[in-house]
Chain A
Amino acid sequence: MFALLASPTGILALFSFFFVGALGSLLTRKYDTLANAWSSTLAIMGCIWGLLVASAVMLSGATVSFGVGRAVLPILVISFHSDMLSAFFIFLISLIGLLCSVYGIGYIKHYYGKYDIGVLGFFYNVFILGILLVVTAGNGMFFLIGWEVMSVASYFLIVYDRHEHDNVKAGFLYLVMTYIGTTFIVVSFLLLYKYTHSFDFEVIKHSIALVPASVKNAVFVLATIGFGIKAGIVPLHIWLPTAHPAAPSHVSAFLSGVMIKVGIFMMIRLFLDVLQPIPLWWGAVVLMTGAISSLLGVLYALTEHDIKRLLAYHSIENIGIILLGLGSSLIFTSLHMLPLALLSLVAALFHTLNHAIFKSLLFLSAGSAINQVHTRNMEKYGGLIKYMPYTAFFFLVGSMAISALPPFNGFFSEWMTYQSLFQGIMLSDISIRWMFISAAGALTFTGGLALACFVKAFGIMFLARPRSAEVSHAKESSLSLLIGMGSLAALSLLFGVFSGRVVLLLEKIARGFTIFQSTESYITISNSQAISVNNGFASISGVTFLGIFILLLAVVGIVVRFGVYRRQQLRVGATWDCGTDLAPRMEITATGFAQSIVLIFKGILKPSIQHEIEYQDSETRYLPKSRTVILGIGDVYQSYFYQPLRKIVTLLSLRTKHIQSGNVNTYISYIFIALVIALLTIL
C-alpha cells in the first residue's frame, strides 16, 4: 500500500478525484443539494488521498517523477516531479482543503437558490486541481498551465457572488495583477530556456552554469516580482485585501491559507534548488521585502474595520515573516553557512504550515460570523460570544495563534524565525548584521502590533453588548462548520505543543534539497519535545510550558475558589457607567481602539480624519445631536504607482486610436508610406 501511494498511480489518482468531482458537479447542476454533496465529498476524498500520498512520500523520502504522453509540440512535456518539498505542500493543500470542504458542506447551503451550486463545485475542484498541478509540475511549461488554471478558477470563485458589484471589480483587479505576475514568470522561464534550452527544472538545475550571472540576476528580479504578486508582498499587494474577502468564506480561507504559499513554494524551489549558487544581495532583497511587508501589513490591518480585509492584510504580514525566514536562509547559503540556512528554511516552512492552519481557522470562523450577521463591518458587531460561543472560542484560538502566544503553533514558528535572525545578528559582516537587526526589529514590532490588532478584532466583534440588532438574531452555525473550525483549532494547539516532532519532519523535508544533503543540523529535539538550537543557544518546549501552566492554573483555581472562603455571594448588576443609562454607543469602536496607534504611525499611514457633526438646530449650531468620526487611510500605492501607470497606458491607447480616423485616403496613404519605407530600406 505504501509503495502504491508514493508512486505515479497514486499522484494520478489524486488528480482524478478532483477531475471527477469537477465534472460531476457540472452534470448535477440542476439539483443544488446533490451538486453540493457530490463536489464536497469528492473534494474531501481527494484531500484525504492527498494526505496519504503526501505522508507516504514524506516518510519514504522517495522523489516520484514521471512523464505522461507525448504532445505534438516539443515544449509541452507533461512531467510530474514531486520531491519532499512538493509532498509537504501537497500535505498542506490537502489538510486545509479537507477542512475547508467539510466547512463548505454547511456553508454553501446559504447559496442555495441564489446561485448555481454546480458551478461553484466545478471551479472549487478545478482550483484545487490547479494548485496540486502547480506543486507537482516537473517542467516550467506544465507549471505555467497549472498556475493559470489555478488563477482563472480562483477568479471565477471570487466573482461567484456576482450580483455584488465590487466583487466583480475585486475579481477583475485580481486576475489583471495575477496575469501581469504570470507574464513576469513566463519571461523569467524564457530567459532560462534561452541558455539551457529546456523548461525542465532538473535539466535547468544541472546546466545552470551556462546561464551568465547578469541573466540569473534578471531571472531573480522577474521571479521575485512574479511570485511576489501572487504572494502579496507589499508594493504588489493591492489586489489581496479586495480579492480574498470577495470569495465565499471557505474559498477565501483556501486562497489565504494555501494559494499565496504557492508563490513561496516556487521561490524556495527556484532560489534554493534550481538557481544555486546565488549571490548575497538576493537574500538581502528578500529579507528586506519580508521586513517591510510584515510591518506595513500589520499597520494596514490595524486601520481596517472590515473583518475579512483585516485578515487579508494579516496574510501579507505573515507572508512577510515567511520571507524573513527565507531571506535569511538565502543569505546563509550565499555565505556557505549551510546549517544556519537549514535552520532558517525549516523556520520558513514551519511558519508556512502554521499560517495556513490559523489563517484558515480565522477566515472560517469570521465567515460563520458574517454568515449570521450578514455584514463585514466590525462596527456593527459586539456581544457575539453570547450567541455564538463556539465560533467565538475558535476565533479566540485563531487570534492567539496568529499573535504568537505560546501554547499555540504561531509562537513556535515565530520563535524559530527569531532564532535564525539572531544567528544572523551574530555574523561578522557589519552591513549584513545591521540588516538582520532591522529585520528582527521589524519582527518584534509586527508581533506587538498583531497582538493589539487581534485584541481589537476579537474584542469588538465578540465581547461587550451588540451594536446592531442583527447580532441578536445570530444563532450558532451548523455542525459541519463547527467540525471544520474545531479540527483546525485542535491542529493549531497540537502543532504548537508537539512542535518538536513537526520541526524534525520539516528538517527531513528541507534536507530534500541537494545543497542541504550533507549538512549537520543545528536543531536537536530532546525526548520532552524541547527544540534546542545551535547546541543549546536557545531551547523551548511547548509541553512543559503547557504542563506547568495548567498545573498552576488548577492549583490557583482550587485555592481561590474553595480554599479561602466559600460563602461569597455573586451579584450580577449593570456595568459602571457614571450613572447614565448604558447605551451601545458608549462602547469603544474599532476605529477608536486603533486610533492611537494610527496617529502614532501617521507618517507612514497618512490617515485622513473627517468629523461630521449634526446639530440640534441648524442656525445656532451650538448643541450637537450626533458626531461621527471617519478615519480613512489613503492607498499610497494606488495613487502614486498604479493610477499613473493606468493613465499612461490609456493615454497611449487613445493616441493610437487616431490611426482609425475614418478617412479612406489616409488609409491608402498608410499603405503607400509603408511600401516606400520598405523599399528604401533595401534599395
Chain B
Amino acid sequence: MTSVVWILQFILTPALSPLCIGVIKKMKARFQNRVGASIFQPYRDLWKLLHKDETMSRDASWIFRFAPYIVFTVTLVVGASIPLFALFPSHIMSSDMLMIIYALAIGTFFLALAGLDTGGAFGGFGSSREMTLSALAEGGFVFSLLTIALMSGTTNVFSIAGSGVLAQGQYVLPVFLAFIGFFIVLLAETARFPYDNPATHLELTMIHEAMILEYSGKRLALMEWASANKLLIFSAMGANLFFPFGFAVSVDPQAIIMGIAILFMKLFVFCFVITLIESSMAKFRFFRLPDLLLISFILNAVALGLIYSL
C-alpha cells in the first residue's frame, strides 16, 4: 500500500496542476460573465501540443533543446518533496526548505537561459525581467519559510506541516504576516497578476511568456506544464504549511481519499483568491514591483523578529 502512496505523491502534482489552471480560467471567465472553456481544456491543449510538429530557431544551442526537460523535472522533484495529502513520506532527503528554494532556482536559471538562447529581443527582455524579480523575491521566500521553520524547530517541510505548533494560538500574528509575505512571493514566482499577465503576449509587459515564445510542439507543452506545476507547488506549500490540518494519518485508502479531498478544497480556495486578484487589480508598472517585494521581505523580517519577543 505504501508504494501506492509513493506513486500518488509523485504523480499528484503533474496530474492536478492543469486542473488548477482550468479552474482559474473558468472562474475568470465567470467574473467577466462569459461561459469560458471547460476546466479540463488545459489537458486537451497539452495533449494537442505533445502531438504537433516543432519548429526551432537556427541559433538555438543544446540548452534551448534540453531546458524544458530540466525545468519540468525540477518541478516534479519539488512537487514530490512537499506535503500534499499525507505527512508520512517525510524521509525523502530533498524536502529541506532551502533545497526546495534553490531547486526552483535551477528551473528559473534554465528558463532564463533558454529565453536568451534564441537571440530574439523578446527572450532577452523576458529573462532580464524574470531574473530581476526572482532575485528580489528570493529574500521574502526564504524568510517566510524560515519564520514557520523556526517556530516549529525544523526546516524539513514535512515536519513543519506536522508539527502543529501553529495550532496553539501563541504565534497567530507572525504566521499571518509570514503568510501575507509568502502569498506576495507566490504571485511573483508563478508570474501571476500584479507582476505579469499570463494571458497576454504584449512585448512591453510579458515576462514568463516572453521566455517560452520560441518554443513549439512538445517542448512548449512541457514548459506550460512546468509553470502549471509551479503554481500548484506554491499553492500547496501555502496551504499545507500555513494551514496544516486535514492530512491523511494512516495508509488505508479511506484516509488517503479524505486527504486528497481536503487538498482539493484548499487548492480551490487558493485558486479563487488568485482569480479574485486577477479580475479586480490592474498589473503594476515594472519598477513598482520591487517595492512590493520589499514589503514582503520586511513583513517576513518583522514576523521573524516577533517570534521570540512574544
Contact = CB atoms under 8 A, between A and B. Distances in A.
> Is B truly associated with A?
yes
Interface of A: 382-383, 385-386, 392, 396, 400, 403-406, 411, 415, 418, 422, 425-426, 428, 430, 433-434, 437, 440-441, 444-445, 447-449, 451-452, 455-456, 458-460, 462-465, 528, 530, 536-541, 544-545, 548-549, 552-553, 556-557, 560, 564-565, 568-577, 582, 584, 586-588, 592-597, 599-600
B77 to A, nearest CB: 5
Contact of A570 (B56, B99, B137, B155): B56
B246 interface: no
Contact of B129 (A462, A538, A596): A596
Nearest to A298: B135
Interface residues of B, number: 79
B116 interface: yes
B57 A451 contact: no
A523 to B, nearest CB: 14
A600 B136 contact: yes
Interface stretch (B120-128, B169-177, B264-272): B120-128
Given A455-B109, A459-B112, A568 B218 contact: yes
B124 A593 contact: yes
Interface string B56-95: 1111011100000110111011001000000000001110
A549 B149 CA distance: 25
Contacts of B290: 600
A406 B106 contact: yes
A451 B104 CA distance: 12
Contacts of B218: 560, 564, 568
B69 A560 contact: yes
Contacts of A441: 139, 143, 297, 301
A451 B77 contact: no
Contacts of B168: none
Given A552-B77, A600-B287, A572 B113 contact: no
Nearest to A576: B120
A415 B132 CA distance: 22
B112 A444 contact: no
Nearest to A393: B62
B96 interface: yes
8 contacts: A441-B139, A451-B135, A455-B109, A464-B118, A545-B99, A568-B51, A568-B54, A593-B128
A528 B94 CA distance: 12
Contacts of B96: 415, 538-540
Contacts of B134: 448, 451-452
Given A456-B128, A564-B50, 4 more contacts: A425-B150, A536-B154, A564-B218, A584-B119
B56 A538 contact: no
Main DSSP-derived SS at the A contact region:
helix
A546 to B, nearest CB: 9
Closest 9 CB pairs of A and B: A588-B124, A464-B119, A448-B135, A459-B116, A448-B138, A452-B131, A541-B93, A544-B93, A538-B155
Contacts of A586: 119-121
A218 B142 CA distance: 38
A663 B78 CA distance: 85
Main DSSP-derived SS at the B contact region:
helix
Given A444-B142, A537-B154, A575 B105 contact: no
Interface in B137-164: 137-139, 142-143, 146, 149-150, 153-156
A211 B84 CA distance: 60
B135 A597 contact: yes
B112 A455 contact: yes
B111 to A, nearest CB: 10
Nearest to A434: B305
Given A455-B112, A576-B120, A593 B127 contact: yes
A386 B61 contact: yes
B78 to A, nearest CB: 10
B77 A571 contact: no
Contacts of B77: 545, 548-549, 552
Given A448-B136, A455-B116, A588 B105 contact: no
A172 B201 CA distance: 53
A556 B14 CA distance: 11
B255 interface: no
Contacts of B122: 576
A575 B120 contact: yes
A441 B92 CA distance: 28
Contacts of B121: 577, 586-588
B55 interface: yes
A661 B135 CA distance: 62
A415 B109 contact: no
B131 A455 contact: yes
Contacts of B61: 385-386, 392, 462-463
Nearest to B141: A444
A400 B109 contact: yes
Q: Which of A404, A406, A418 has the most CB of B within 10 A?
A: A406
A464 B74 CA distance: 24
B217 interface: yes
B135 A571 contact: no
Interface in B263-310: 286-287, 290, 297, 301, 304-305, 308-309
B94 A545 contact: yes
A538 B52 contact: no
A541 B34 CA distance: 50
Given A448-B136, A459-B112, A528-B93, A587 B119 contact: yes
A455 B74 CA distance: 18
Contact of A556 (B50, B53, B69): B69
Contact of A553 (B69, B120, B124, B125): B69
